[in-house]
Structure 1
């Protein structure tokens, strides 16, 4: 049986109820992983460190009672983990119908409030949310183009990014204004959690010259 463990970086241990849910989730994922590729088989012995704890970092950054959309949820990272750790009303957007089926079953068995949308992100139609999350999905300019379709006016994004985060921010600055907060990952020495708010497209000079 899989058992969660404290983050070696010092993160507080999960509560008994969250620990039970995470144990159950890991067992379900391991069973399904033999049929569909949710995580790399070589990652299964390191499921806590590489996937669960990494996703769990976002929970403390999410205000109570918000609505949240997770783009490209895949094996449930980070959206289903966040749903287990918070009282957020979470929508998981996943275009792969087999992964969407896994997410529905896992959400039902661990007893969380999650809506699964089995559509491509650019076609998904959901009510505005206060928080949009994503992990290992796409470069920042593409993420922003998707996320702004779902964000409420006062909403913000939480993206788990790797060592190329500054290059991605530079690339995104050509088309987007945003308020940027960087938080170091507690599970990945090269990782950063981006909190992005007040997101809006840049109106380029040629567009201004053309008028409204």
Structure 2
């Protein structure tokens, strides 16, 4: 069951943070929070269930993603899980989103939430990202807490139906990119843009990175 008190607290917290968005969009965010917390009692989707933790741990990432201007015209949320960032972003914008998760129960939750939030610009697929990309396409592949860039590219690199990889990362990104730059796929991706931001009262440093595919025959 959702907690009306927690919903009201979140409504107050996001008022200033979402001032440029409509009241309807703000209410969809609150409704998404209610659905996420309710489903979290059935299956483990997130540990960030208080209004404050949801704001600092989920919503701030999504706001940074939208403000970074690193996304293409359409996006796929790889390993969407509880719907962050893709489903939450879709509560605030009309960009087409594809949500993919290999776990059936998570995909079922995503579809239920998509329907209840009335988001016709969102599609949900149960399966592996590389398999879904054989049937559809997206300009940007978005990944948050899925794994390092090298592992993700190993999954989807052979698919030609995407153009860039957008990663939400923490302070370990420099080491991760260094490892990628020395690895087997080092000539396949290049950094096409970065967006730095801080979240929470502790001002934790985070970064969004867009990695563009390198055309065959060129040097990254």
TM-score (norm 2): 0.79
CA contact (8 A) 2:101 2:125 kept: yes
1:121 aligns with 2:135: no
Root-mean-square deviation over aligned CA pairs: 2.9
In the alignment, which residue of structure 2 is the partner of 1:184? 196
Distance in 2, Cα, partners of 1:192 & 1:148: 23
In the alignment, which residue of structure 2 is the partner of 1:44? 49
1:72 aligns with 2:79: yes
1:1-212 paired onto structure 2 within 5 Å: 1=4, 2=7, 3-4=10-11, 5-6=13-14, 14-40=21-47, 43-45=48-50, 46-62=53-69, 66-112=73-119, 113-124=121-132, 125-149=134-158, 152=161, 155-174=163-182, 175-177=185-187, 178-187=190-199, 189-199=204-214
- Structure 1 unmatched ranges of 5 or more: 204-212
Deviation at 1:200, TM superposition (A): 5.7
How many matched pairs?
200
Distance in 2, Cα, partners of 1:201 & 1:14: 41
Distance in 2, Cα, partners of 1:27 & 1:88: 23
Deviation at 1:17, TM superposition (A): 1.6
CA contact (8 A) 2:70 2:166 kept: no
| TM-aligned CA distance change 1:162 to 1:170, over 3 Å | same
Distance in 2, Cα, partners of 1:202 & 1:167: 27
Structure 2 residue matching 1:191: 3-state secondary structure: strand
Range with greater deviation from structure 2 (159-168 or 12-21): 12-21
Distance in 2, Cα, partners of 1:29 & 1:127: 27
Structure 1 residue matching 2:139: 3-state secondary structure: strand
Structure 1 residue matching 2:211: 3-state secondary structure: strand
Structure 2 residue matching 1:57: 3-state secondary structure: helix
Structure 1 residue matching 2:87: 3-state secondary structure: helix
TM-score (norm 1): 0.81
Distance in 1, Cα, partners of 2:169 & 2:147: 10
Distance in 2, Cα, partners of 1:119 & 1:21: 26
Distance in 1, Cα, partners of 2:131 & 2:60: 30
